[in-house]
Amino acid sequence: MDRRKFLGTTALAGAGLVALPGCTTETRERVQQRADKRTDSVTAAGTVPAFEFDEVSVAALQKRMTDGSLTSVKLTDAYLARMDEIDSAGPKLRSVIERNPDARSIAEAMDKERAEGNVRGPMHGIPVLVKDNIDSADQMMTTAGSLAMVGTPAPKDAFILERLRAAGAVILGKTNLSEWANFRSSRSTSGWSGRGGQTRNPYVLDRNPCGSSSGTGSSIAASLAAVGVGTETDGSIICPSALCGIVGLKPTIGLVSRSGIIPISASQDTAGPMGRTVADVAVLLGAMAGEDPRDGATAASKGHVESDYTKFLDANALKGARIGVARNLAGFHPAADLAFETAIAALTNAGAIVVDPVNAPNLGQFDDAEMEVLLYEFKDGLNKYLAERGATVPHKSLAELIAYNTREAAAEMPYFGQELFERAEKKGTLGDAAYKKARALCLRLVRAEGLDRIFAQHKLDALVAPSNGPAWPTDHVNGDRYTGGNSSYAAIAGYPTITVPMGFATELPLGLSFLGTAWAEGRLIGLAHSFEQATKVRRPPRFLPTATTG
């Protein structure tokens, strides 16, 4: 999850919108001049060795393994060697917190199966990185980045890990993250964990990758694996995907199981796919989605799960689609505004029926209520998770974790504290009237009076808004300085959203979010793919050492 400061910044940015309806050439020039003055002039690119599998898609890798010119073992070895070059050395992205000692043996098994004529599907033999809050019953630990959780590996795979293994994926390793999915302190620095250190943004190394799925965003942008898995409570897939220039999909709550994932919120948590293209995300989602008896929320997905989301990859999907433009969710930065205008024009040129503007509710109406819900659900969910892990974790409750952090403050709290932990510990049970009132308010404002009303009133297929402003410099003294984002509506509603690259503020990626209503993943994948193919904005990172204000 991204901290509440992110939501506060988003609300303020929405109130200070720079509206550019019918943007003229003269207006565009003025906006570009402002952007040139306020965005970054970038230093020379860092030297990073060429890589055979840089930017190669899942489909292309699968094709090469099919024709015999590539094996899963060769691909796995290449990604591991690439980690040596640029993750633990060179630019030192620090995006991978632990490598899987079994990765090569899994790849060997997948190659053997292929040679025998048994190919499980489009993920067969494909290396995947997963976030370090997802249980894996192997030699790797599951710690949420916290030293307090270092010990014995989980006794059982998370359900989504079971699904990925069954699909033939090679679990390559665990990615670093904002410790405890960024729900320990309101002054935290995204991408930092006590166990993994600070993850860097591969586009400009002193800029933040956002969080909490920072390691997944950074590693996939840098081609350290074919695809990756992140988790989100509010922004933790969308923000790092956007700031790291990749595609990320936050599914409808219940489409993807949460069992075996260290929780924040039972009402908002979900895992989701992250990749360099919409097509890669579609492949991974098909391998992850499915009903799980261990997660009751997935019962609602019955009849909505697709085994193959690539069937929605239609380059003409935007033609005739009704797309609402949420102008009051822009205004983060002149460069982002300009990229948003260009994106709206691209939607129109692709044949979309653009409904402009469509105003979303003010985030400030439900910000406090959402935090109340998260504090209650975090305490309840984390204590249950720790109890289920039993002897494989050294601490059995949130209270014990607070005590550990206090004792080990030098290692665990060198930059920021644990005030969110402490606030959550003071909460009661989910039966409290305060919790029920806050949750009801969130649902009313975001669903009934928010997205449900907007989609019905304007007959929309999707709502679009900028995913983010440019990445900010990483700062362990002051913590994050978010430049804006629009993850909260879909997060609180439990609805899907997908971010796709829409432009750059010099070398800093900017994303466009497509929001939908429940179970609209297929439709959103089609629309995002159509936009991606029409614009082809993404370019690989250059590992620039810094960016200076012009």
Q: Kindly report, residue by residue over 189-242, the tens digit of the pLDDT.
A: 999 999 999 999 999 999 999 999 999 999 999 999 999 999 999 999 999 999
Q: What is the 3-state secondary structure (H, E, C) of 104-146?
A: HHHHHHHHHHHHCCCCCCCCCCCEEEEECCECCCCCCCCCCCC
| Cα(512)–Cα(105) distance, integer angstroms | 39
- Predicted confidence at residue 47, as pLDDT, reads 78
Q: Kindly report, residue by residue over 118-129, the tens digit of the pLDDT.
A: 999 999 999 999
Q: Kindly report, residue by residue over 326-355, the tens digit of the pLDDT.
A: 999 999 999 999 999 999 999 999 999 999
| Cα(11)–Cα(481) distance, integer angstroms | 14
Q: Kindly report, residue by residue over 439-497, the tens digit of the pLDDT.
A: 999 999 999 999 999 999 999 999 999 999 999 999 999 999 999 999 999 999 999 99
Catalytic annotation, residues: 131, 212, 236
More confident residue, 79 or 30: 79
User: What 3-state DSSP class applies to 300?
Assistant: helix
- Predicted confidence at residue 121, as pLDDT, reads 98
Residue 48 has pLDDT above 70, yes or no: yes
| Cα(76)–Cα(101) distance, integer angstroms | 12
What is the DSSP annotation of 70-82?
Answer: --HHHHHHHHHHH
Paired sense of beta strands 247-250 and 170-175, if any: unpaired
| Cα(402)–Cα(140) distance, integer angstroms | 24
170 in Cβ contact with 76 (< 8 Å): yes
- Predicted confidence at residue 46, as pLDDT, reads 59
- Predicted confidence at residue 45, as pLDDT, reads 52
- Cα–Cα distance list, 166 to 121, 256, 301, 381, 391 (Å): 10, 15, 20, 27, 27
- Predicted confidence at residue 360, as pLDDT, reads 87
459 in Cβ contact with 322 (< 8 Å): yes
- Predicted confidence at residue 43, as pLDDT, reads 44
Those residues with Cβ within 8 angstroms of residue 82's Cβ, 6 or more apart along the chain or in another chain? 51, 53, 222, 223, 224
| Cα(429)–Cα(425) distance, integer angstroms | 10
User: What 3-state DSSP class applies to 325?
Assistant: strand
Residue 403 has pLDDT above 60, yes or no: yes
More confident residue, 267 or 3: 267
Residue 7 has pLDDT above 50, yes or no: no
Residue 233 tokens read as 């409570």
The secondary structure of the chain in percent helix, strand, coil, rounded to multiples of 5, reads 40, 15, 45
- Predicted confidence at residue 478, as pLDDT, reads 96
Residue 101 has pLDDT above 80, yes or no: yes
- Predicted confidence at residue 549, as pLDDT, reads 54
Q: Kindly report, residue by residue over 13-25, the tens digit of the pLDDT.
A: 222 223 333 333 3
Residue 12 has pLDDT above 70, yes or no: no
